[in-house]
A and B are shown apart, each in its own frame.
Chain A
Amino acid sequence: MDSSHDPHPATQDGAHDHHDVSKHVKGYLLVGALLLVFTGLTVFLSYVNFGSSKANIIVAMIVATIKASMVAAIFMHLNSEKWTIYRFLLLTVFFVIGLFVLSLLAFHDPIRY
């Protein structure tokens, strides 16, 4: 447990040791290719008429969220991060959603007289 005598203590992120990183390289390239495919998909889907412009917005946002999740989880190593980081990110997500939802609520709920 006492790491003070180890002249070159390995980083505690076991998943990113010298050998392990090479395992992830294929993953990075695969995700990169997928992202390009999804970009094309986004453009294609914008031509498809899903009924209303609201529906198109929802479809586009779903595809964007999938792409963003891939970047965050794989490229930014969020799938194997530490709990401290997760805690701060969860807080942030909660507050961003709060900002959106509550301001929109105020927008949609004006005084009616």
Chain B
Amino acid sequence: MPGFRKRSIRRWNPPQHSFSNMEIPYTISARPDTGLWNAKLGIWLFLASEVMLFGGLFSGYVFLRLGSAPGYWPHGLLNVPVGSMNTAILILSSVTVVMAWASLKMRQFTRYQIYMAITIICGIIFLAVKLAYEWPQKFVHFGAYIKPAVAEKYEDYLGNKHLIEKGLEPRYEITGHLHEIEINRADADPAELDTLIKARGLEVVKTEDEGKVLTLKVHSPSDAVALRDVLGVISNPDEPNPAKRTRKAHGVKIEAFELALDEINANPTSPENERPRFIPRSLSEKTATIHMEDIDGDGQAWSSFEPRHSSYFAVYFTITGLHGLHVLAGVLVFCYYMLPVSTRLYRQNPEHLANRVEVAGLFWHFVDLVWIFVFPIFYLL
């Protein structure tokens, strides 16, 4: 055993010279008693923690769905054909990634490159469909929850009498594409309001009440949100604290929404629109008007299909978003394994590259596994 190396300690130097050739063992060959090489154990441990992560998210889903009142858990809001196609693409990429690894083990490098490229392309298509089609679609779709007490007013669009007769869950949401909104400009700053209308290209269809009430054509629910957020100065001369006598608050009041209805609200009593089955949200020709005083949550329960619209969308965006981040990470790692630095590694030590690809492939399969559960839970049930 080497003795204690005397050296004058002028400043503390962390040890940097190895007087041994100590490499880290079992990075490529397996340790005999466990039968594993390091990264294989490492990735499985990491995947175990990922199981707990998505397990926690799914337990949240279960809690929220079980805790929702009857009629408040939506169904059929997601596009099943597109979702099925995405599922198929991800499954295909799973096959190609294991084929890529197998090609490396069989020392067929060109085949490996082809399979890896296909895997990457599939991953990118999956993300593109999600980010360029599925998600943006949600932000232009509109939904409003009606107060249960006044639901009878909208019976033509909800069909609750029929549903209750059949022993099914009631409906309280009216969805579709927002066409026009009626606003009362009240205390809103007129200059700001006009700038907003021009900037968003909104058309004033009707004016009433000496220009106080406007009906505007809108393109998406975000226009309605922007209008609602126009500030105005509200003054209260009776307020004791002088600093609070005038304050800024929402100056625009939305009075009503006019929307083109989805099929489910156009024909609410049709057997096509009954559970349990997948119901597509396709647009009908019918339009309807919803008044603000009938909207639930003190008039706040309306929005596009964004995360805050309902618990369903909250958990949908969170889980698919997190899943999407994992897909992106996987794609980036695979791209790294196509770069020249990896080709060089193949020439020096093909088994090492095969192991790295196997580890990345295991991660990719796990991502596919999660999607296998996400797809039926959100798209079909």
Q: How far is the CA of A25 from the CA of B105 in the complex (A)?
A: 11
Q: Quick one: which of B34, B56, B87, B106 contacts A39, CB cutoff 8 A?
A: B87
Residues on B with C-beta less than 8 A from A21 are 102, 105-106
- The answer to whether B62 touches A100 (Cβ under 8 A) is yes
- The answer to whether B63 touches A103 (Cβ under 8 A) is yes
Give the contact stretch, choosing among B147-155, B243-251, B291-299, B372-380: B372-380
Q: How far is the CA of A104 from the CA of B59 in the complex (A)?
A: 9
Residue B131 at the chain A interface, CB threshold 8 Å: no
Residue B77 at the chain A interface, CB threshold 8 Å: no
In B19-57, which residues have CB < 8 Å from any A CB? 28-32, 34-37, 40-41, 44-45, 48, 51-52, 55-56
Residues on A with C-beta less than 8 A from B55 are 96, 99-100
Q: How far is the CA of A64 from the CA of B51 in the complex (A)?
A: 16
Q: How far is the CA of A48 from the CA of B381 in the complex (A)?
A: 12
Residues 274-291 of chain B: 1 if any A CB is under 8 Å from the residue's CB, otherwise 0? Answer: 011110000000000000
Q: How far is the CA of A47 from the CA of B106 in the complex (A)?
A: 44
- The answer to whether B56 touches A28 (Cβ under 8 A) is no
Q: How far is the CA of A29 from the CA of B99 in the complex (A)?
A: 9
Mostly, the A contact residues are helix
Residues 45-82 of chain A: 1 if any B CB is under 8 Å from the residue's CB, otherwise 0? Answer: 01101101101110011011001100110011000001
Number of interface residues of B (CB under 8 A): 56
Residues 78-111 of chain B: 1 if any A CB is under 8 Å from the residue's CB, otherwise 0? Answer: 0010001001100110110011001001110000
Residues on A with C-beta less than 8 A from B48 are 88-89, 91-92
Residues on A with C-beta less than 8 A from B36 are 12, 82, 84-85
Residues on B with C-beta less than 8 A from A40 are 84
B residues with CB within 8 A of A = 28-32, 34-37, 40-41, 44-45, 48, 51-52, 55-56, 58-59, 62-63, 66-67, 80, 84, 87-88, 91-92, 94-95, 98-99, 102, 105-107, 275-278, 351, 361-362, 365-366, 368-369, 372-373, 375-377, 380-381
Closest 4 CB pairs of A and B: A32-B95, A12-B30, A46-B380, A96-B55
Show 24 A/B contacts (Cβ-Cβ < 8 Å), sorted by A. A11-B37, A17-B105, A24-B102, A28-B95, A35-B91, A36-B91, A36-B92, A39-B88, A43-B80, A43-B278, A43-B380, A53-B275, A60-B376, A71-B94, A75-B98, A76-B362, A82-B35, A84-B36, A85-B41, A92-B48, A92-B52, A99-B56, A100-B58, A100-B59
